[in-house]
Chains A and B, each alone.
Chain A
């Protein structure tokens, strides 16, 4: 099957700034994919290249097998982009905007789908209101609707939930999930890592224009953020044999890393042998934020070296 998105060896230079340094990335059809990274990592630049808003200095990108430069019309027909900036056209109402957007994609009679979009995004009663009069959250929904007028198989959302309240966020993700279940490929960037963790099956992490991690969410979590255990010991001293597992020493507590839950038994056995009692014990599950910080930190060290 043709990959939904294929990015190969993409470089982007803005003058002396090397914003993307050879990005390779493939997203299969039907995936729910997250593109994570700190500000300035190149996420939006990469999306802009896919969408044809910007041109790669080097390398090529395809959407559903269509080259974004040579075959730009087909590439754009298969792609829906929700831009990060909250843009709107002050002259027109929500419905007018959606009709225009349909027309630009070559669709004449699209009102049934427009109505469905309005309904799903809670915009039905705003249809005839000028977009400039809407609140930020509502403007964001209009942008989502605009990106979907042509039912694109591949949908890219660039920080769709930035500055959006909890309720709308839930509604939005519910809707996007439904689209994903219906077969649409979803790519999103977000700063809310728990969103990426719960929604996305695969994650790429970008730093300084390079992909520094690319794996399934599950693998990333299990490989990088091993389970940790926090122990309060009596007496307050860690046996030598457990030193190698120590990751942090907090006030009166030791934080040890475990390969998995079964590692806990060995730790307890060592403590018993050394005649150290356990006053408190807390096992923490890994989350994506730990993984993210760990990977970003590791990349920092590699850059420093």
Chain B
């Protein structure tokens, strides 16, 4: 287990050493969203009865920040190692593929949670929000970070360069997060888009996470967690299979 712990610690230290870029900058970006959208929409939109728009927005933004940062952590760490060649430092030692997976995912979860916590704390200072079901909140936070961490590993394994990495981030991850109900409830959408949203796993993450705060959601949280858990499991198994096969690591 020493190998796993060392790799986990190295991954933590990696993002911690460039915290300005990996923690503070996503924090500031997310807070800008909060500032602008709450200013423009607070007086006009009420999604759930008795819940102000700013309060509604905060959990969505927290989840969005967690997802994006969990993905960014595992993917950028791995692609950098691949491109610079220092991945050999991890391939030469007797690390098992599952240790590799566990360390990268755990570090990505930590980064996601740190940024998410920062956004939540700052948001709470704006508008105090209730915490109706904290356990549901934590469950969705962990599942979301783990899912995106695994997706990040798969992307970095597959990508032949930074260009392809950025393509996945900008054309898949970003649209899925923005179109998942961070800024709105899907009930406000036309039926077609509402139906389509239900195929987006990120929708269940945000909806369930929001349930943890307000006790209100579009889908029952148990169903949401089951769907999210299944996605998370599928992505994890796929990642483990790729790592075990040495896909694009050990040609």
Contact = CB atoms under 8 A, between A and B. Distances in A.
Interface of A: 14, 51-55, 72-74, 76-77, 79, 81, 83, 85, 87-92, 96-97, 99-108, 146-147, 150
A104 B88 contact: no
A16 to B, nearest CB: 15
A87 B93 contact: no
A76 B91 CA distance: 9
B6 interface: yes
Given A87-B84, A103-B2, A103-B6, A76 B93 contact: yes
Contacts of B94: 72-74, 76-77, 104-106
A54 B246 CA distance: 9
Judged by DSSP, the binding face of B is helix
B3 A53 contact: no
Given A53-B250, A55-B246, A73-B96, A104 B84 contact: no
Most buried by A among B18, B81, B93, B251: B93
B157 to A, nearest CB: 15
Contact of B89 (A55, A76, A99, A101): A101
Interface in B80-94: 81, 84-86, 88-94
A156 to B, nearest CB: 10
Contact of A106 (B2, B17, B86): B2
A52 B10 CA distance: 22
A96 B11 CA distance: 12
26 contacts: A52-B92, A52-B250, A53-B88, A54-B250, A54-B251, A73-B94, A81-B92, A85-B85, A85-B88, A87-B84, A91-B14, A99-B6, A100-B89, A101-B89, A103-B2, A103-B5, A103-B6, A103-B7, A103-B9, A104-B3, A104-B94, A105-B3, A106-B3, A106-B94, A108-B2, A150-B93
Interface in B7-51: 7, 9-10, 13-14, 17-18
A140 to B, nearest CB: 14
Interface string B81-121: 10011101111111110000000000000000000000000
B99 to A, nearest CB: 9
Contacts of B13: 91-92, 96
Given A87-B88, A104-B7, 19 more contacts: A51-B91, A51-B92, A53-B92, A53-B250, A54-B250, A73-B94, A77-B94, A81-B92, A85-B85, A85-B88, A89-B89, A90-B84, A91-B14, A92-B13, A102-B6, A103-B2, A103-B9, A104-B90, A146-B89
A104 B84 CA distance: 19
Nearest to B91: A53
A81 B86 CA distance: 13
Contacts of B5: 103
A87 B250 contact: no
Nearest to A87: B85
A272 B232 CA distance: 92
A117 B245 CA distance: 34
Nearest to A12: B251
A52 B246 CA distance: 10
A37 to B, nearest CB: 20
Contacts of A90: 84
Nearest to B90: A104
A139 to B, nearest CB: 11
Most buried by A among B10, B17, B95: B10
Nearest to A80: B92
Contacts of A55: 246, 250-251
A99 B6 CA distance: 9
A227 B208 CA distance: 84
Nearest to B6: A103
Contacts of A89: 81, 84, 86, 89
Interface string B239-251: 0000000100011
A14 B7 CA distance: 31
Given A91-B17, A106-B2, A101 B84 contact: no
A100 B2 CA distance: 10
Contacts of A54: 250-251
Nearest to A77: B94
A99 B14 CA distance: 14
Most buried by B among A52, A92, A96, A104: A104
Contacts of A104: 3, 6-7, 89-90, 93-95
A101 B93 contact: yes
Contacts of B18: 91
Interface string B205-229: 0000000000000000000000000
Contacts of B91: 51-53
Given A53-B91, A53-B92, A106-B94, A88 B2 contact: no
Contacts of A147: 92
Most buried by B among A51, A53, A79, A107: A53
A132 to B, nearest CB: 10
Given A55-B246, A74-B94, A105-B94, A100 B86 contact: no
